[in-house]
Structure 1
Amino acid sequence: MAKNEKELEEISTTDKLKAFKTLKDSGLRVEFNGSGVPTVICAGADEIDKTLKNVKKLLKEIRYTGSFGVRAPRKTDMIGTEESLEAAEEVAEELTEKNEEMETLTA
C-alpha cells in the first residue's frame, strides 16, 4: 500500500494541468473541481459512458494516471441549448421593441 500512496503523491499539479489542457484541446468542456481534479462536462447524462471511454483513451495517450471526472451538466452550468438561445433572442427582441416604444412616448 505504501507504494500505491507514493505513486499518488507523485502526481503533480503539472500533470493535472497537462491532462486539463489535453482534454480541452480535444474539444471537450473541462473544469477543475475544488480539489483540482480535471472534470469533463458532457452534453447529457446519456452520453457519460461514451465520453468516459474517450477521456480514458486521451489520458492513456499522455500516460496520465491521476484522478479525473466525467459528469452531466448541472442546472447552474448555463450550457446554451438551441431552445434557450431562441428564447433569449425573443426576449431581447421584445425588450428592444419596448425600448423603442418608450423612446417614442417620451420624445
Structure 2
Amino acid sequence: MLDKEGTSESLPEIAPHPITKIAALRSAKGEIYVFYQAQDLSVRVLVLVPGKGWTHQETLVLGSEEVLAGAALAAVAGGWSEARLFYITRQSTIGEVYQPEGGRWTRSKYLISLA
C-alpha cells in the first residue's frame, strides 16, 4: 500500500535483467540504496527512507550504453554524505558515479583500466 508520499514498507516491483548483480549501501542518514541492472541494461536505484519506506520510483543512475551487461556493482557511502557506485564500463574500465546529498548522479572523471 502506498502512502500520500508514494512510499511503502514493501519493496517495489521491478523488472531486473536476469543476469544483474546488485549492490547496496546505507547512507549517513540511514537510507538504504539498492542498485541493480534493469531489463534495458541501465543501472537503477531504489531507496528505503527511514520512517517512510521504499520510494516507488526507479531512479536512473547509468544509461545502458555506459555499463557492461551483468557487470559487478559495488557501492559505498562516502565521507561527505554522498553515495558512490563503481561498475565495469563497456570499454573494460572501472567507472564511478556519485551523488552528493540531495544532488544528481554524476560520473567521476577518473577511470581505472583493467587491461
**TM-score between both structures, scaled by the size of structure 1:** 0.29
- Larger-Rg structure: 1
Instruction: Write 1 or 2 for the structure with the bigger share of strand.
Output: 2
Instruction: Write 1 or 2 for the structure with the bigger share of helix.
Output: 1
Higher relative contact order (CA 8 A, sep 6+): 1
**TM-score between both structures, scaled by the size of structure 2:** 0.28
